[in-house]
A and B are shown apart, each in its own frame.
Chain A
Amino acid sequence: MIRPISGWTLFAIVMVLAFGSWPGFAAPDDKAHGKFSGEYTFYSLSLGDTGPPTKKDTKVNIWMSGSFAAQLYRRLGNESRGESCSEAIEVREKGNLVCSRVRATGEVNCGLGFDLRTGKSVLGMIC
């Protein structure tokens, strides 16, 4: 005997179908909180041609890697596809947050920067 689907069950199915495969939705093993690995660099001028940090001009580039970067990449979603510079990678970016994924290995790295004079974000990765 076929039982009728309740409203809440139907709602749950719709949500899974709609958002379970929705670009940018977290994977089952993603965590909302955790530690991450990465590195930083203080610099002046701009990311493409840097100088040493100075009193008047200090920016920081934060380079994120590992599972945190992979999670960022997933959460950014397909709709944020960015300029890849090479066929070897896929890029997702929003504003100054940029993540690149190496097609061959699946390795993901993300970058974000801040201008410490203004506190505003600056580009995190370049070609």
Chain B
Amino acid sequence: MDGFRCQRGCPPGTRRPALNQDWTQLPRLDAIEAGEHGSGYYVYGTDDTERIGTAARGQWGRPRTMEVINAVADRLATGDSYTPFGIGNISLPTGGRFPPHRWHQDGLGVDVRPARTDSAQLPVTYRDQQYDRAATQRLIDAFHATGQVDKIYFNDPMIGGVQPSKGHDNHFHVQIKR
């Protein structure tokens, strides 16, 4: 996890993050080598021309948030069958209001796609056939295992460690502790 604090002379396997004071942009999968720190996730969201979901522009957060994401990725990235999980909106650069989110302004909230049985990097709701409940539970457990998670909002009643919230059928929101 310390790799994300590395700024100069980073050891192999770590990447230098783009920093804006204490805000960090989540490195994108296409900039990360397979097997490298951070390769356990992919990013999703619309590009800068669309307002909702802003891809890289909406993936700025606190260093601790990035540490949690990487800890989860590292924890799950074992075995040949593992497929990266999808990271969506975090915050806009240095925070600020982020339609259509109620909050997502402090760099401590992360949207994550549930796992799919076909491993496609596409949306899925917990009611869809392609939804992989067991893999989603492992993913949520991995977030809790970091000890840094305050709450996770997700609507699948068969998943533990979450609480329901409107609009969370197709992604879960992880709120990192302040």
Do A and B form a real pair? Answer: yes
Q: Are A127 and B168 in contact (CB under 8 A)?
A: yes
CB-CB < 8 A to A41: which residues of B? 50-52, 99-100
Q: Are B100 and A49 in contact (CB under 8 A)?
A: no
Q: Are A127 and B167 in contact (CB under 8 A)?
A: yes
Q: Are A46 and B99 in contact (CB under 8 A)?
A: no
Is A13 in the interface zone, CB < 8 Å from B? Answer: no
In the complex, what's the smallest C-beta–C-beta distance from A112 to chain B, in angstroms?
10
CB-CB < 8 A to B168: which residues of A? 48, 126-127
Is A26 in the interface zone, CB < 8 Å from B? Answer: no
CB-CB < 8 A to B97: which residues of A? 65, 107, 109
**B142-178 CB contact bits vs A (8 Å, 1 = yes)?**
0000000000010000000000011111110101001
Is B53 in the interface zone, CB < 8 Å from A? Answer: yes
Is B137 in the interface zone, CB < 8 Å from A? Answer: no
Closest partner residue, chain A, to B101 (CB atom): A126
Q: Are A49 and B170 in contact (CB under 8 A)?
A: yes
Is B17 in the interface zone, CB < 8 Å from A? Answer: no
Q: State in angstroms the CA–CA spacing of A78 and B28 once bound together.
A: 42
Number of A residues whose C-beta is below 8 Å from B? 34
**B61-98 CB contact bits vs A (8 Å, 1 = yes)?**
00000000000000000000000000010000000010
Q: State in angstroms the CA–CA spacing of A87 and B106 once bound together.
A: 11
Is B27 in the interface zone, CB < 8 Å from A? Answer: no
In the complex, what's the smallest C-beta–C-beta distance from A108 to chain B, in angstroms?
10
Is B105 in the interface zone, CB < 8 Å from A? Answer: yes
Q: Are A86 and B175 in contact (CB under 8 A)?
A: yes
Is A70 in the interface zone, CB < 8 Å from B? Answer: no
Q: State in angstroms the CA–CA spacing of A114 and B103 once bound together.
A: 21
In the complex, what's the smallest C-beta–C-beta distance from B171 to chain A, in angstroms?
4
Is B102 in the interface zone, CB < 8 Å from A? Answer: yes
Q: Are B99 and A98 in contact (CB under 8 A)?
A: no
Is B46 in the interface zone, CB < 8 Å from A? Answer: yes
A46: which of B46, B50, B153, B169 is its contact (CB, 8 Å)? Answer: B169
CB-CB < 8 A to B50: which residues of A? 41, 43, 50, 52
Q: Are B100 and A126 in contact (CB under 8 A)?
A: yes
In the complex, what's the smallest C-beta–C-beta distance from B126 to chain A, in angstroms?
12
Is A88 in the interface zone, CB < 8 Å from B? Answer: yes
CB-CB < 8 A to B169: which residues of A? 46, 48
Is A68 in the interface zone, CB < 8 Å from B? Answer: no
Closest partner residue, chain A, to B97 (CB atom): A109
Q: State in angstroms the CA–CA spacing of A49 and B116 once bound together.
A: 14
Known: A39-B99, A41-B51, A49-B113. 12 other contacts (CB 8 A): A46-B125, A47-B100, A61-B99, A63-B100, A85-B103, A86-B109, A88-B106, A98-B102, A126-B166, A126-B173, A127-B101, A127-B109
